[in-house]
Amino acid sequence: MRPELAIQSLRAQIERIEGTNRRAKAVLPFGIPELDTRLPGGGLALGALHEVAGGGNGAIDGAAAALFSAGVAARTRGRVLWCITRPDLFAPALAQAGLGADRVIYVEACDDKTVLSCMEEGLRHGGLGSVVGEVARLSMTASRRLQLAAEGTGSIGIALRRWRRQTEAADFGQPTAAMTRWRVSVMPSAALPVPGVGRPRWLVELIRARAGDSADFEMEACDDTGCLALPADLVHRPGAAEGWRRSASA
């Protein structure tokens, strides 16, 4: 057998063992072609672990990252398990991002280890649409366990990275088994022709996507259905289809 054919055969065997093809067919699209085309399968993989963190000062409070995660969870079916270590989650804000309080089961844990354990149990349960856990550290071993648990049931796992000090955010650069890695930063909302505050805007950075592309997008924040949107003033720009690239340190 020629070397290239042997490699293709081995890849096919690995995909069958890992269930890669099955996961690729089960995705949760964002409904935005410019974003979905960057993701393998055309959307956020179900039965997988994803990482989300805030950018800049948002690495500490994690507000935009939490709302982004809530929007994803809102578009899944079933209850949502949300594991926290700090009781500062504002339920009405999650509801504005499409995730109603009647769908969320909150678990308050004492540390990251307990959060990760609760996440794994929730993902293995099989009756949840998604499981969100706020953690500062995420090792390769822990992320592999979460990834395998999600694969077995088809639930989405979201590791919402939050730190107590800005210097700890460097841990976000460490490798994990997550299918995608996102960073969400707050941007000024668009000016309105009348007094008031416009729809919030985020810089959504797809930092890593397994078998996909990285890209940055300026987006309007999740609405009450959990959906993002491209700002109207950017939709028809020539660069819109390619994303708005910025440095990873932005």
What is the number of domains present in the chain?
1
What is the domain extent for residue 148? Answer: 40-186
Q: Is residue 114 part of a domain?
A: yes
pLDDT of residue 167: 84
- CATH value at residue 88: 3.40.50.300
Which pLDDT score is estimated for 243?
45
Assess whether pLDDT exceeds 90 at residue 130: yes
Identify the burial level of 1 via C-beta atoms within 10 angstroms of its C-beta, where 0-12 means exposed, 13-18 middle and 19 or more buried.
Answer: exposed
pLDDT > 90 in the chain, percent: 65
> At 152, is the pLDDT very low, low, confident or very high (cuts 50, 70, 90)?
very high
pTM of the model: 0.83
Residue 14: inside a domain: no
Instruction: Grade residue 192 by pLDDT with cuts at 50, 70 and 90.
Output: confident
Residue 87 lies in a domain: yes
* pLDDT above 50 for 22: no
**Residue 6 falls inside a structural domain:** no
Assigned domain for 195 exists: no
Tokens at residue 232, please? 């109207």
Amino acid at 35: L
Tell me what pLDDT residue 56 has.
84
Give Cβ neighbours of residue 238 (< 8 Å, ≥ 6 apart).
none
96 in a structural domain: yes
Q: Which pLDDT belongs to residue 8? A: 64
179: left (phi over 0), alpha (psi -120 to 50) or beta: alpha
Q: Flag whether 127 is in a domain.
A: yes
CB 107 within 8 A of CB 83: yes
The 10s digit of each residue's pLDDT in 76-113 is 999 999 999 998 999 999 999 999 999 999 999 999 99
* Residue 227 maps to a domain: no
Give the integer Cα–Cα distance in Å for 104 and 241.
35
Q: Which of 250, 184, 222, 206 is nearest to 34 (CA)?
A: 206
Query: What letter does residue 193 receive in the DSSP assignment?
Result: S
Structure-block tokens of residue 173: 């650069």
Q: Concatenate the DSSP letters of all residues of 18-45 into one string.
A: HTHHHHHHSEE--S-HHHHTTSTTSSEE
Phi then psi for residue 133, to 5 deg, are -135, 130
Lowest mean pLDDT among 27-31, 150-154, 198-202: 198-202
